[in-house]
Every structure is written in C-alpha cells, then in structure tokens.
Amino acid sequence: MINNVVLVGRLTKDPELRYTQGGVAVARFTVAVNRTFSNQQGDREADFINCVAWRKQAENLANFMRKGSLVGVQGRIQTGSYDDKDGKRVYTTDIVADNIQFLEPRNATGGGGNFNQPSQQQNYGGQSNQFNAQPQQSYQNQPMNQQNYTNMNDDPFSAPSQGNAPQGSVDMSDDDLPF
Amino acid sequence: MINNVVLVGRLTKDPELRYTQGGVAVARFTVAVNRTFSNQQGDREADFINCVAWRKQAENLANFMRKGSLVGVQGRIQTGSYDDKDGKRVYTTDIVADNIQFLEPRNATGGGGNFNQPSQQQNYGGQSNQFNAQPQQSYQNQPMNQQNYTNMNDDPFSAPSQGNAPQGSVDMSDDDLPF
Amino acid sequence: MINNVVLVGRLTKDPELRYTQGGVAVARFTVAVNRTFSNQQGDREADFINCVAWRKQAENLANFMRKGSLVGVQGRIQTGSYDDKDGKRVYTTDIVADNIQFLEPRNATGGGGNFNQPSQQQNYGGQSNQFNAQPQQSYQNQPMNQQNYTNMNDDPFSAPSQGNAPQGSVDMSDDDLPF
Amino acid sequence: MINNVVLVGRLTKDPELRYTQGGVAVARFTVAVNRTFSNQQGDREADFINCVAWRKQAENLANFMRKGSLVGVQGRIQTGSYDDKDGKRVYTTDIVADNIQFLEPRNATGGGGNFNQPSQQQNYGGQSNQFNAQPQQSYQNQPMNQQNYTNMNDDPFSAPSQGNAPQGSVDMSDDDLPF
DNA sequence: TTTT
DNA sequence: TTTT
C-alpha cells in the first residue's frame, strides 16, 4: 500500500551511526522541518521527525552530514512500540529513508577545515551538494560519528528487528556517494 | 519547508469527530497501511498511522467512512508532546490531512443498511467513492460518529491548539463532499 | 535528487503490455486523475498522466487491471523526447512506477465473469484489492492484454532505452502479486 | 483524487514571470532533477520538468531564484494540449507548484553582486535560504525577470485559462516571503 | 487518444 | 532531547 514521505529540513544533531550484529550500518537522525506558517503568537514552529537510514546511505550520512545540515529525505512511515523501563508501552513513529539527498553540509565545528564551501566553485553538471570531499572523509576509510554499539537490540530506540534491514543483494552502487 | 505525506490504507476504527471550543470540527483516525514486503516470518505487517482532519473534511470523513474503509490521505507530519498523568513526557507524531480521498466505504456493521454499494449505480461526475449517500447521512443534518466533547484541550491526544485549525475564509466548497 | 510522484486515479484504457528484446516486460498506461476543484464552468476536469511499469508490476497490471480500474501509483517523473515522422521534436513526460497498488478492479466487459466483486466478501487482513483471482488469471500462465511487439525500439512512445529497465538481481518477489 | 509531486532540483534558466490580463502573476520555470542512477554509458542523466507557480510564489521565485538555483517544489501534475502553428496537437505536462522552497540562490552571473551569501550571517527564524535580500530585490518594488506580456492567451505555452489561477481571498501572507 |  |  502507498506510504510515501518527502521531507526537506535540517539535522537536529549529528547522525548516530551503529552497526547491527550482522554488520549492517544503521543511522538514526532527526530532521527539523520548519512549518511554512506561523502560530497564533506569530512564531514559526517546526516538526522534529525521527528518521532511519540503512547501509551505505547510513554511512554516507554519518560521514558527510552534521548537526544543522540540510537534507532531503524520501521514504515511508514506520510505526512500532516497545515497553520502557517502567513497563509502559511507548509508541514510535519513524521515517525509513529510501533516498537521502545531501543539500548542504554544515562545516565541522572543530578545527578540521573539512566541508569547506568554496565561494567560487564551478559545480556544473549536477549534484547539489556544495562541498569538496577530502579523501580522508571517504566512508570506507574512517567513518565519522560512529558509535561502538554492536547490538542494536539493547536499545529500545533502535530500529525494529523485523524486515527493515533489507538483506541480500540490494547492495548499493557508487551512485549513493554524494558526489 | 517540504513536509509531504501520502498514504493509502484502511481505517482501524470509526473516525472520532469532535468540535473545538470555537466550533471547529476535528476528526482523529488511524490508517493501517500494509507493508509491501513480508518480515522474516513471512508475514506482512502494517504501519498504524495517526491522522487528523479539520472542518468539512473531518465531518465528511466521520459521516461516510467507517472502520475498514479505504482512504487516501495527503498531508504533512506534525510532531508534538504532552505530559501524561505520571508527569512523563510523551512524544506524538500525527499526519495532518490536507486532502482525503474516500476510496471505498465499508458497509455499516449494524443493521443500518447504510453505505450500501449498488452494483449498477451511475456515478459520473468525478469522485471515486462508490456509494449513494442517503439524505439522513448528510453532514449538515446529523453527523455520525460524533462525540460530545467540546473542549479538545481536556484531552492530551487532541490536536495541538496552535496554528493547525486554519481560521478565516478558507471555507471549503461542495467540492469537498465525497460525491 | 528527489523526484517523487503519487497518483490515485483510473486507467483510461486497458494497460498495454510489451516485452523488450531482452525479454523484460513493460506496461504503458494512462491514469486519469480527477481534479478536486471545478473550473469556471463548474465542471470537474481531469489530468491524464502517462505511466510506465516494468517487469512483474507490468505483468500484474496487465493481468488484473482494465480500463476504468482504480490504481495508486508511486514513482518518479521521467522526461524525454523523440523526433516524429515530420522530423519534429516531441517532448514526453511519463511517470515511471516504482510501486502500484490495485485499488479496485474493473469487471471484464466480456462475458468472462472474471474480477467479480462479491458483495459479502470477508476480506480481513489487509490487501485492498477486492477481487478473487481465478487460477487462469495467473500472470505466469497466460498474460492478458499482451501485444506481440518484441522490439520496443521501433516505437517512439516506448520507454527510453537507457537506464530505466533495472537489470540484474532486482527480481521481485511474490509480494508483488496483488493478493 | 490524489495527484502529488515533490521535486528537488535546479532551475535550467531564470524563471519567466508574466501577468495575466486579470493581473495575476504567473512564473514558468524548468527544474532539472538529476537521476540517482547512471545509464549504460555510466552517465547520470537528468529529467527536465516544467513547472508553473502563481501569485506571490511566482513573484518571489522570479525575484530570488536564477538559473542554477536549487529549489524544492511541492505540487500536482497538470496535463493539457494546444494546437501548434501547423495545426498539430501538442500535449503538455506541467507541475503546478503549491509550495516552493528556496534552497539556495545562485549568484547573479552579471556584475550585480546580488544574492551574495555572507559566510557569517545570522538567519534565525525559519527559512532555509542563505542570503540577505537587498531592498532593491523586494518583489513589491521592482520585480526582476519580468516580461511585458500581458495576455497569456497569446502564448500556447502559457498555463491554461481554466481554474488554475485561484481567484478570491486566498491572498498569501508574508509567510510566503523567502525570509 | 482519455477514467468514474 | 531539537535545526536555521
């Protein structure tokens, strides 16, 4: 059945990358989408939407996007529930990302000098991301934002275990690289 | 910013119609959207997605749709939170419906004989729903599924108060009627 | 980049199924989507949107859907062009369907008795299609609506040759069957 | 019925702003959306999608966006036709934009110095565009990119005359301004 | 060239 | 628990 979501917004924090026991990369992130209208106090509010990405998209996201980065997400809504430490049922709603577009990186806050956005770049020919990737940012070499959890099932906020880590030969190509 | 959702699925219960203190109709409903893939046990699961509709769409939904009815929903994700009776913060995610399409009514389970689907109807003129509305189902006369709450703010599950009940002259035309 | 379309509407004709030289099934069909508003003459117009489906989706569509059938389509916009017999450039816009939902079959117009919609069916448990598939409708056995073109490239309206017939192991599972 | 499109891509040319005889602003523009996969030659192609915006969105677009600017568009597909000078019927497909997000301005190619993107701006308060509008860019004062056509019906590529220029009190608020 |  |  049709279950289709598109969001454009900013990461509220650095994405959180983990690996399942089977070694599959999963990234969790929250996208803040500002509303296009103001409330009665004249303020513009935002919706904070939890998202999950898998595999290469997860790794690319963790490597190239930061708190504040602008992203486009196409995916589907996934609902679930778990029991918290008080035995209380908590219902969850997440967007499972099928496709993520890196619209704008956020400069690294540290002294890294990475993700710099040259003012006079010539970026004809296609992709919308606006940064020059340095070799050391390659996801194969040293994933950033990575945490050392290995068992997602310890964490009630981890994505559910059934059916959402597409196994098999759906291996993504270099087309998933954001450049 | 872009925040766009489209769902096609079935109502898990009759829609719940209320009115705000200002007299604005609000309907809450949950759409079950079956996943297009099976889990590791070979079962097809579903996502249960909470939705809100306002004004005439809310009234039409409550009048014509039932548990099991197939609907299309176009809208946006809205997040919020409230504190439950234990003082615990609960986060909510709902779809605010901009546009609802009645794809198929579900026969009333009671002896009503309403919402019957005549096999030889002539229903030219546009909408895809397949039933003849009886006069007594007119939303002006006697809204069905209605509850007598008048103050949504008593209810933590009610839609938030700010900004989502578009006031003013956005009055809907008869185009909103599902026939 | 994000290029996302969702439509719900009716087939203007029976879908047209062909096979590429490589043996890949392609279906072309047009979805009429009625507008939700009326024009200045008070009439409700429609948009007629050309779509393409590939492989098992194409075959299922051709087997189970007919002129008048209600479908949901999720996909992306694809543009192209060709030169007509007068050497004039013609620009094309099509929706490439990633996912098709069969919302309602249309009874076969002939005496077939297929695709009948029993009035008292018990269809709990999920899928939205409303018909009982007869064995002889199985897509493996005898595809319907099929034409005997084998070389799509003879036809300027055929889908372009580059990149849109995902080769390889993306073979669809039985989940694609509409029941 | 549901007819929903979301695109993120770049303008292929400066938007073309006109006014109907009734004085309603209309902008036409084409969005290039790069495909996420490569063709058999290993090249990444793009789809070139014609779009229309109305009223304040049209004016804002013409004032702030240029060839190369990155935009998000949410809208619906509209089909139509006209007869060309040879009396040949030409079919058209356009996206009618309900909502446009300015994701990134493109610096004016001329010596203007407009649309510069200060590196240390403070742009709190909502929108994702990253530039400071100069007073002379205000849409009320001197619309840019404007052409002096007054009768859209002279132009077969103009948006159709029926029903798509919502008259009346749908006047947009300042929320439509891109800052 | 269009569905209901 | 939130981005700009």
- Would you state the pLDDT for residue D163? 34
Rounded Cα distance, C1 and B23, in Å: 43
Most D CBs within 10 A among A128, A130, A170, A174, hence the mutation to make, goes to: A128
Q: Give the strand pairing for B3-11 and D44-54.
A: unpaired
* Whether the Cβ atoms of residue A153 and residue A159 lie closer than 8 Å to each other: no
Rounded Cα distance, B105 and B99, in Å: 17
Exposure string for A38-65, b = 16+ CB within 10 A, e = fewer: beeeeebbbbbbbbbbbbbbbbbbbbbb
- Chain C, 93-122: which have a CB under 8 Å from a chain A CB? 99, 101
Rounded Cα distance, D138 and D99, in Å: 20
* Whether the Cβ atoms of residue C19 and residue C13 lie closer than 8 Å to each other: no
Mean of per-residue pLDDT scores for chain A:
72
The model's pLDDT over D99-140, given as tens digits with 9 standing for 90+, comes to: 999 997 665 443 333 333 333 333 344 444 433 333 333 333
A105 — pLDDT class (breaks 50, 70, 90): confident
The model's pLDDT over D33-90, given as tens digits with 9 standing for 90+, comes to: 999 999 999 998 999 999 999 999 999 999 999 999 999 999 999 999 999 988 899 9
* Whether the Cβ atoms of residue C16 and residue C30 lie closer than 8 Å to each other: no
Q: Do C162 and D40 touch (CB under 8 A)?
A: yes
Its sign, for the CA torsion A71, A72, A74, A80, is: positive
* Whether the Cβ atoms of residue D108 and residue D115 lie closer than 8 Å to each other: yes
- Would you state the pLDDT for residue D161? 34
Burial of D174 (0-12, 13-18, 19+ CB in 10 A): exposed
- Would you state the pLDDT for residue B86? 87
How much of chain A exceeds pLDDT 70, in percent? 59
Strand partners, B34: B46
**φ, ψ of residue D96 in degrees (nearest 5):** -90, 115
Rounded Cα distance, A42 and A28, in Å: 32
DSSP state string for D5-50:
EEEEEEESS--EEEE-TT--EEEEEEEEEEEEEE-TTS-EEEEEEE
Q: What is the mean pLDDT of residues B148-169?
A: 35
- Would you state the pLDDT for residue C113? 31
Q: What is the mean pLDDT of residues C120-124?
A: 35
- Answer whether residue B87 shows pLDDT above 80: yes
- Answer whether residue A133 shows pLDDT above 90: no
- Would you state the pLDDT for residue A177? 55
The model's pLDDT over D150-173, given as tens digits with 9 standing for 90+, comes to: 333 333 334 333 333 332 222 233
Give, for B61, the enclosing helix (H) or strand (E): helix B55-64
The model's pLDDT over C49-102, given as tens digits with 9 standing for 90+, comes to: 999 999 999 999 999 999 999 999 999 999 999 999 888 899 999 999 999 999
Structure pTM? 0.74
Mean of per-residue pLDDT scores for chain D:
72
- Would you state the pLDDT for residue B127? 44
Q: What is the mean pLDDT of residues A97-111?
A: 75
- Least CB-CB distance to A175: which of D9, D36, D103? D36
- Pick the residue with more confidence: B161 or B176? B176
Which of chain D's residues have a Cβ under 8 Å away from the Cβ of B169?
169
- Would you state the pLDDT for residue B146? 52
Distance from the Cα of A109 to chain D's closest Cα (Å) equals 14
Is the C-beta atom of D3 closer than 7 angstroms to strand E?
A: no
